[in-house]
Structure 1
């Protein structure tokens, strides 16, 4: 039959099936499944199993104050994530509407709003200290104007950091939804007498509701799973991820506590995974109804939009401007600017390049591994039917589960294997960091490759089958070349996300392999803000250059 794969010979079919070599693509798919099981499913399952064992053994009775602490940590985490989500949506929805429909210079605003996504949240944390700390610039201005100030350390500091970091993510997601609203729909509503505000409230926002919910979930997940910002500016406001990490690294704390907290984070993350997957299915339908974008021609709307977008962009970028200034400053005390400026912090980097070298080696190893997994898993999702669909859920797990929890699971797995005399080389040293990174950031290249596979021309593959080519030969000669551009983009995305990873690094850290993210975090904790700022500028520059390279290749 034309367009179908050639049938196997009928004679001796049972013997042929026995002696026939296995399909290489099926073998690669099985190896990818084993990799996910070893470095993701088993570690998380081990945490949950241990927590169940602790509860059934009556372990909670030995921890009389743990129940109250557990409830408090859960409430704090949910309140923080919920507050950040509400603030981000309140700002992000009008910002996205103006950005898509009313603002000139859209490419400029898009670049400006992307900058916070190029750095981990903890970099913005010590930037907020420079601005809102007890002698921060904005704090001094508020005092000079006779306005009230607030204590940064605690819920306000974490919330400010998370809002700054997650707002661009929400805006870009909402903007993608706004581009799917057909122009005719809005024009019809306006022709019936509706104002721009009424049309936006009654037509546009209901139409992009799946994208609003998706934005809310992404922001909630980012805030709920972060550990860097709560550690730096959290003060006495403790959340689940921080408590699990600090309990894990302390020798004087009952080690059942991090297991129970990590298991609870896994349970909450699984609930969020269900919601994320549900919203992703809804957003995948929306582009089928897209049309030309309706833009606001009203001069008043365009002026308001330009002013609003400019103000928000300035406020979002202000912490990063403070980092840049601090990187050249000597001592930033009670003045609005540092006492003097110097290049010594950058000169000191030349003699301390080991963390950057370590980060480049680890990211340069883990990123290709993550892309390879994405290519193999993407093919399995196409070919394995319902079994392949399970990959979609499993590969989203690292996105919703905190890196701290994944790290704790891997450490417990390696500990169990050592007790059994199975201390494997790839489960220790830098190899364990590479495995943790490749799993932790797998969802990012996975989304890129899933989109690329959806655009593969099946007719070319069917033509190859009809000419007698095997499945493996068809993949290597026909399918894979069509994936090369997406693989390059996925490689850059995976590299940039891995080099900024902190949560898993703090737990799975190996002696002699300090990364640039850990160095920044350590300097910030020690109060060496100027050194932390200089390294942060270097990290942001590296990530920005790689992101720009990926965008350039995509445009080509």
Structure 2
């Protein structure tokens, strides 16, 4: 009897949100689970259709392939180390020292972190490549610089790209430290560098671990930087791309096997991060905010020099690309004088169409991301059900999977009937929605957890329906967190390369792809023009967000 009663109660509790949950689950099943299952299935079959482990054995038994995995781990570890080495002191000086121009430093770090990684790589080629400006300058004095290509170049570019993530994370952690703890430490005779290592770093260790694993995952999954400047130094994600291109005419099984290995590795790193966070995480109740210290003049000067030098070095490539876009260029050679020839060439080759595609794909994708993120956040926070927890977990899977793997999975899933999407705008939109939605979901969940449920209950008690309350009360209150995540998603969408390079057709070419294809073709003048357009679009997006937001800060 109780069983029938329980079933009847469940039927009675079905409402519009139940159908929303089912709809979202079906969408994730079709556009995420199905492609991933397709790629997993293909990894365990030979080209003749027989079940086999040969694809995996080939990867681990041949040094050529296994070396790419070792190389990616090596790059990830070094990039993480240097990002921490730069980001932690920079955040410490930012929070604890009376730095001049703090707002400028923060904005420049945000711009560095949100620019397309491969544009940074391309910029350093223009500066330190074989025909680079700095290379030529040193050659004029009979000096030779080390090559920007290979392992050292990848580490340099990725470190300068990813240290701002550590910087932004650590600012939040330092601001949460109770200043009375630091004052007590000084009263006990522990101050300066001893206080920094023995107390300050220990209090922020959970954040340091979280930032470290985030940087490592982004470095490991990065595609554009090693593709442009790796040359003979082969990395894992580039090998996935190369194998897929090599197999396009026939057997895709080996490419699928490498993709599965990538999924397992990134999933293991993600689970390790979660375990570490649970085990070592703790909460600091900050009653007294930290205040900038009055320091010895020499220390204060060093803090200023270090902060501005690091940020200037990170931002230098972007400035140089903008300047180079006005230089006269023929293929890869810079000629005397300045002009608008690069922009004229870019326009004649389809700049407006590429910009239109970028805005169309980005705009439609962002609309869907906002819609789904708001709905998922509400289901996760307000309607705690097993199915909603499943949706939350599914939404985070693309966050840990390299973009090239997502692109290959989409091709394998939607290249044949009953659903054929390859070469269309739809598959580009689906890919970036799946890949970039986690940013907005997490920020939406965070803001909704801070909103008292009593406000919504009061609205319903006054006669408003659940959906009217949701759209009229809840969503407006969530807007701050939603917009913060949306700007992260938007910038990631318009600078997407790793999945787009596999999925695009000539009709769906975006600015990011136009930059890359022109670099590969050697028409670097036009590439600099496209890169400048893309950077300006990114800068305008961030500037608009900072203008309309209350504090002008972005969470990562």
TM-score norm. by structure 2 comes to: 0.89
Distance 1:436 1:321, change over 3 A: same
Residue 57 of structure 1 aligns to a residue whose secondary structure is coil
* TM-fit CA distance, 1:442: 0.8
> Does residue 401 of structure 2 align to residue 401 of structure 1?
yes
Post-superposition CA distance 1:64-109 (Å, at most 9, x none): 9963233211101111111111111112221221122112221011
Q: Distance in 2 between matches of 1:547 and 1:437?
A: 19
- Alpha-carbon contact 1:496-1:543 (below 8 Å) kept: yes
Distance 1:62 1:440, change over 3 A: closer
- Alpha-carbon contact 1:359-1:515 (below 8 Å) kept: yes
Match of 2:501 in 1: 506
Q: Distance in 1 between matches of 2:185 and 2:269?
A: 36
Post-superposition CA distance 1:287-310 (Å, at most 9, x none): 644641142211332211101001
Aligned runs of 1:120-159 on 2, under 5 Å? Answer: 120-144=116-140, 148-159=144-155
Match for 1:181 among 168, 177, 202? 177
Distance 1:33 1:277, change over 3 A: farther
Match of 2:24 in 1: 32
Q: Distance in 2 between matches of 1:262 and 1:175?
A: 35
> Does residue 449 of structure 2 align to residue 451 of structure 1?
no
Distance 1:279 1:539, change over 3 A: farther
Post-superposition CA distance 1:127-148 (Å, at most 9, x none): 1111111232222344455655
* TM-fit CA distance, 1:185: 1.0
Distance 1:144 1:499, change over 3 A: same
Match of 2:308 in 1: 310
Post-superposition CA distance 1:397-423 (Å, at most 9, x none): 2222111101111111113xx2xx413
Q: Distance in 1 between matches of 2:61 and 2:506?
A: 32
TM-score norm. by structure 1 comes to: 0.89
> Does residue 467 of structure 2 align to residue 472 of structure 1?
yes
Match of 1:105 in 2: 101
Q: Distance in 2 between matches of 1:384 and 1:194?
A: 47
* TM-fit CA distance, 1:528: 1.9
Q: Distance in 2 between matches of 1:301 and 1:130?
A: 35
Q: Distance in 2 between matches of 1:359 and 1:297?
A: 48
Residue 507 of structure 2 aligns to a residue whose secondary structure is coil
Residue 340 of structure 1 aligns to a residue whose secondary structure is strand
Q: Which moves more between the two structures, 85-94 or 247-256?
A: 247-256
* TM-fit CA distance, 1:392: 3.7
> Does residue 538 of structure 2 align to residue 543 of structure 1?
yes
What's the RMSD between the two structures over aligned residues? 2.8
Post-superposition CA distance 1:297-352 (Å, at most 9, x none): 113322111010011112111111221121011139999x8521111222334442
> Does residue 244 of structure 2 align to residue 225 of structure 1?
no
Residue 331 of structure 1 aligns to a residue whose secondary structure is strand
> Does residue 521 of structure 2 align to residue 526 of structure 1?
yes
* TM-fit CA distance, 1:53: 4.3
Aligned runs of 1:40-119 on 2, under 5 Å? Answer: 40-53=32-45, 57-60=52-55, 63=58, 67-102=62-97, 103-119=99-115
* TM-fit CA distance, 1:151: 2.1
Match of 1:330 in 2: 328
Residue 235 of structure 1 aligns to a residue whose secondary structure is coil
Match of 1:366 in 2: 365
Match of 2:412 in 1: 412
Q: Distance in 2 between matches of 1:218 and 1:75?
A: 19
Q: Distance in 2 between matches of 1:374 and 1:287?
A: 29
Match of 2:269 in 1: 272
- Alpha-carbon contact 1:92-1:170 (below 8 Å) kept: yes
> Does residue 190 of structure 2 align to residue 198 of structure 1?
no
Gaps of 5+ in 2: 552-556
Distance 1:194 1:255, change over 3 A: same
Q: Distance in 1 between matches of 2:522 and 2:156?
A: 20
Residue 442 of structure 1 aligns to a residue whose secondary structure is helix
Residue 325 of structure 2 aligns to a residue whose secondary structure is helix
Residue 330 of structure 1 aligns to a residue whose secondary structure is strand
- Alpha-carbon contact 1:414-1:423 (below 8 Å) kept: yes
- Alpha-carbon contact 1:164-1:316 (below 8 Å) kept: yes
Distance 1:177 1:433, change over 3 A: same
Gaps of 5+ in 1: 1-11
Q: Distance in 2 between matches of 1:293 and 1:429?
A: 52
- Alpha-carbon contact 1:404-1:503 (below 8 Å) kept: yes
